[in-house]
Amino acid sequence: MEDYLLAFAMVVLTALFIGLTTVGLVEFA
């Protein structure tokens, strides 16, 4: 179960990182 939670947390963090990076690039451009 811990592995499932870890994988879920990594997916969420990755999605947030990609989203923030995209927003930053759009605002910077």
> For residue 29, what pLDDT is reported?
76
> For residue 20, what pLDDT is reported?
97
d(CA 6, CA 16): 15
> For residue 2, what pLDDT is reported?
87
> For residue 14, what pLDDT is reported?
99
> For residue 25, what pLDDT is reported?
94
Number of domains forming the structure of the chain: 1
> For residue 1, what pLDDT is reported?
66
The CA distances from residue 9 to 4, 19, 22, in Å, are 9, 15, 20
Range of the domain at 7: 1-29
Span 1-29, pLDDT tens digits? 689 999 999 999 999 999 999 999 999 87
CA angle 5, 11, 26 (to 5 degrees): 150
Residues in the chain: 29
